[in-house]
Amino acid sequence: MNYDDIKKIWIIGASSGIGEALAKALAKDGKQVIISARSEDKLKAITETSDNITYTTVDVTDTKSIGNAMKGIKNLDSVIQCAGWFSAETAKDFDADMFKKHFDINVQGTANILDPVLKRFKKASKGHVAVISSVAGYHGLPKSLSYGPTKAALINLCEALAIDFYDTDIKIQVINPGFVKTPLTDQNDFEMPMMITPEEAAKSIVKGLKRGSFEITFPVIFSYILKTVAKLPYALSIPLIKKATAGKM
C-alpha cells in the first residue's frame, strides 16, 4: 500500500515525543489521524491542534482496550506503533522484573496491536504497518540491557512480516531512530551524539513513509556507523563499542 493511498492512520503511543510530532506532521499532510495512549488529557490537548486528529485511549498491555478501540475505528489504512518503554540499565543494576516490563510493553505490546490489525488488513487484502524500533537493536549497547533486546526483537519481527507479505498490498516498515529528545531519552546521563528533536524525527519518518523502503532510519550518518560496527566480527565490535562509550554510557 502506497503512502498516497493511505487516508486514515492510527498512531499508538502518541501522547508525547515522536508519536505526537508524527501525528501533527501527518495531519498537516492531509491524513486523518487517530492517536492513542493511556493519558486521555494529553491526547485531548493534541486533538485541539488539528481538525484532522481524533483520539481513543489504549493501553498496549491490555488486549481488551485495544479491541474496544478498534471497534470504533472504521476504514483504517495504516497503523504506526510508537508505544515503548525505556529504563537505562547496566550489568550492575540488571533486574529480571525490569527486563520483563520492557518486553511486556515493547514486544508483547506490539504483538497485542498487530494481532487484530493484521487480521483486519488480511481480510481487506491491503494495509500498512510501521513499527518504531531503534538503532539500539543493531548491536548490544551499554545501558540497554533490557531495552536493546526488545528493539532487536522488533526488527526481526518486522523483517519476518515483510517477507510473509512480500508481493501483497500489505506493506510493512520498521523505523529505527537514533537519539531523539523525548521523555525517554531525558533519563540518560551520557552524551547522545547527533541528537535530534521529535519534529525532525517526524519529518524523516514522513519522508520514509513516502519513499516506501522497508527501513526508515535516521540520522543517516549515525545509523550507518552503527550498522557498520554491528557487521564487524565480535572480536572487533565489542572492544570498539566499549572504547567508544567508556566514561560516556
Q: Which three cell numbers stand for residue 11?
A: 498512531
Which residue(s) pair with 122 in the sheet?
none
Give DSSP secondary structure letters for 3-15. GGG--EEEEES-S
Write down the pLDDT at residue 187: 56
Q: Helices 17-28 & 40-47, crossing angle to 10 degrees?
A: 30
Percent residues over pLDDT 70 in the chain:
93
Residues 123-155 pLDDT 10s? 999 999 999 999 999 999 888 899 999 999 999
pLDDT digits (tens, 9 = 90+) for 35-88: 999 999 999 999 999 999 999 999 999 999 999 999 999 999 999 999 999 988
Kindly state the average pLDDT of the residues 109-124.
98
- What band does 162 get if pLDDT is binned at 50, 70 and 90? very high
Instruction: Quote the cell numbers at residue 39.
Output: 493519558
Cα–Cα separations (whole angstroms), residue 131 to 45, 144, 215, 244: 24, 19, 10, 29
Whether residue 229 has pLDDT greater than 90: yes
- For domain 3-245, give the CATH number: 3.40.50.720
In angstroms, rounded to a whole number, what is the distance separating the alpha carbons of residues 147 and 167? Answer: 32
Strand, helix or coil at 232? Answer: coil
* Cα angle for residues 150, 152, 155 (degrees, 5° grid): 110
Residue-averaged pLDDT of the chain: 92
| Domains of the chain, residue spans | 3-245
Q: For residues 204 and 22, give the distance between their C-alpha atoms in angstroms, rounded to a whole number.
A: 10
